[in-house]
């Protein structure tokens, strides 16, 4: 019985480690999206750099399986369209 208990404890520890790592990556993605949107609304010249950084973070998260590939593609598409519309309006 002790062996099952120790393995269950290890599984719990490992799942907590993964959860915290995934939470960190998701938070980083959300922060980069907010940064991009705020720069785009201000028509800042650094918007394109923020867009590239956001796309890189989304691709990284999708590659690790933290968010689905379709969710990453959808968000990238929407943000690229937002960027293009703002650029055309200038």
- Domain containing 9: what range? 2-89
> Total domain count for the chain?
1
The reported pLDDT for the residue numbered 1 is: 44
The reported pLDDT for the residue numbered 3 is: 61
Domain of 60: which CATH number?
A: 1.20.58.110
Q: What is the pTM of this model?
A: 0.84
Cα–Cα nearest to 54, from 22, 31, 82, 85: 31
CB 36 within 8 A of CB 51: yes
pLDDT digits (tens, 9 = 90+) for 9-62: 999 999 999 999 999 999 999 999 999 999 999 999 999 999 999 999 999 999
């Amino acid at each position: 019985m002790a062996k099952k208990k120790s393995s269950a404890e290890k599984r719990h520890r490992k799942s907590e480690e993964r959860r915290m790592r995934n939470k960190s990556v998701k938070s980083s993605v959300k922060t980069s999206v907010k940064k991009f949107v705020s720069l785009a609304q201000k028509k800042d010249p650094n918007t394109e750099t923020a867009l590239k950084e956001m796309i890189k973070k989304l691709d990284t998260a999708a590659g690790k399986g933290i968010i689905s590939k379709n969710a990453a593609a959808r968000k990238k598409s929407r943000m690229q369209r937002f960027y293009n519309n703002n650029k055309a309006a200038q």
